[in-house]
A and B are shown apart, each in its own frame.
Chain A
Amino acid sequence: MNINATLIGQAIAFALFVLFCMKYVWPPLIAAIEERQKKISDGLTQAERAGKDLELAQAKSIERLKEAKSQAAEIVEQANKRRAQIVEEAKMEGETERLKIVAQGEAEVESERSRAREELRQQVSALAIAGAEKIIKRSIDKEANSDIIDKLVAEL
């Protein structure tokens, strides 16, 4: 194991290799690595932000949903109330209408009845007069007794 000129050769080769490595090998590789690291870290922060956004959006949507549900419930309640009100109103209207019709009918019937009675009375009075005329034709003067007849008629 003797030291000889190989040592010098090796040292020269070493120096050249290190220079080459310094100039052409190390910079592009470390640049690529560092750029990828940056990309990855950017991607991670973006993903984190996106996750936060998503969470926020979810919370918002849940809130909206709740709001919409409560609104819908309110609307349904209102509609129910309104329906009950309408039904009630319609019932009342119907009732008054019915009462009006019934009253009208009664009045009509009443007036018809009184008319018929009047007619009947007149006819009966006429008939009574005619009968009485025939009975007393022969004896009594028609004009002299007319007040009695009128009294009779009124009594019918």
Chain B
Amino acid sequence: MTAAVTPTGYIQHHLTNAQMCTVDGGIAFNHACADAGFWTWHIDSLLFSVGLGALFLALFYRVGKKATTGVPGKFQCLVEMVIELIDSSVKGSFHGRSSVAVAPLALTLFVWIILMNTMDLIPVDFVPEAASRILGVPYLKIVPTTDLNITFGLSLSVFALIVYYSIKIKGLSGFVKELTMQPFNHWIMIPFNFVLEFVTLIAKPISLALRLFGNMYAGELIFILIALVPWWAQSALYVPWAIFHILIVLLQAFIFMMLTVVYLSMAHEDH
């Protein structure tokens, strides 16, 4: 897009996803999708998210294939540090009997979210400008985690796993009992218990998704605002915020991963 007319327009433009939907049997993009409702795809979020996930898997797969038990290379060292971090975190927080799926899940979440968040550090105009000039793409958001769909996609999958493991470990009756007989173990209190426990259960995916989304969205917004100040003042604002943002990028990924592990551990506990 050419230079934004107004600050509001500039910000709004930066916060709009590239959309795709089917209208009347044909494929339509962006504004044409205004009425498509649920069946709209944010192709930029999906593209970058899947691309980064594939990048992560490809890198780690290569390292895993060539992994030596002798003296590791520098990249293998890095990968192993991440693996060890995940492994120790999972061993420390997960008390379920079988953790075969939990550690890979945590690893995927951690590295993938770091990569998606890191897209935030690319100056806000680089990729969208290039895309609009070279490819003619009018809207492009390159940070997948600033898209609520992406964070909810992750957290609802985690939620599905929570429910799955709860039922698998405790049985359906155990799961229902957990929802209705706590904290007050009396049949009169069942409705009250259920409301309490249901909110607790539902709050897990929502808080996961909103925490990550909120942090990254706010960070992105600040970057966009910084991009609005005169060019000679930008570095003075951009550099400290970007450095601070590195912390948020890692921290949010870690929190998401850690909470997922804790939630799954709770799902594995039977009383």
Contact = CB atoms under 8 A, between A and B. Distances in A.
Interface of A: 1-11, 13-15, 17-18, 20-22, 24-33, 35-36, 39
B104 A25 contact: yes
B42 A6 contact: yes
A17 B54 CA distance: 8
B64 A9 contact: no
Given A6-B42, A7-B152, A24 B61 contact: yes
Interface of B: 17, 36-42, 45-46, 49-50, 53-54, 56-57, 60-61, 63-65, 67-70, 72, 79-80, 83-84, 87, 100-101, 103-105, 107-108, 112, 144, 147-150, 152-154, 156-157
A6 B41 contact: yes
Q: Does more than half of chain A's interface fall in helix, strand or loop, or is it mixed?
A: helix
Contact of A8 (B72, B79, B148, B153): B153
B154 A10 contact: yes
The 3 closest A-B pairs by CB, nearest first: A10-B153, A6-B149, A32-B67
A34 B61 CA distance: 17
B67 A10 contact: no
Given A4-B41, A10-B149, A10-B153, A25 B84 contact: no
20 contacts: A3-B38, A3-B149, A4-B42, A6-B45, A7-B156, A10-B144, A13-B53, A14-B154, A17-B54, A17-B56, A17-B57, A17-B108, A17-B112, A18-B104, A27-B64, A32-B72, A32-B80, A33-B84, A36-B69, A36-B72
A21 B40 CA distance: 29
Contacts of B154: 10-11, 14
B149 A7 contact: yes
B83 A3 contact: no
Contacts of B63: 29
Contact of A26 (B38, B104, B147): B104
Contacts of A6: 17, 40-42, 45-46, 147, 149-150, 153
A8 B153 CA distance: 6
B108 A29 contact: no
B152 A30 contact: no
B148 A21 contact: no
B41 A18 contact: no
Given A6-B147, A10-B154, A21 B49 contact: no
A9 B41 contact: yes
A24 B64 contact: yes
Contacts of B46: 6, 9-10, 13
Given A21-B107, A24-B61, A30 B149 contact: no
Contact of A25 (B17, B41, B64, B152): B64
A1 B65 contact: no
Interface core residue of A18, A24, A27 (most chain B CB under 10 Å): A18
B83 to A, nearest CB: 5
Given A10-B152, A14-B153, A25-B64, 8 more contacts: A3-B152, A4-B40, A5-B39, A6-B46, A8-B153, A10-B49, A32-B72, A33-B80
Given A6-B147, A17-B112, A21-B104, A33 B153 contact: no
B144 to A, nearest CB: 8
A11 B104 contact: no
Nearest to A38: B69
A21 B108 contact: yes
Contacts of A5: 38-41
A7 B64 contact: no
A39 B6 CA distance: 64
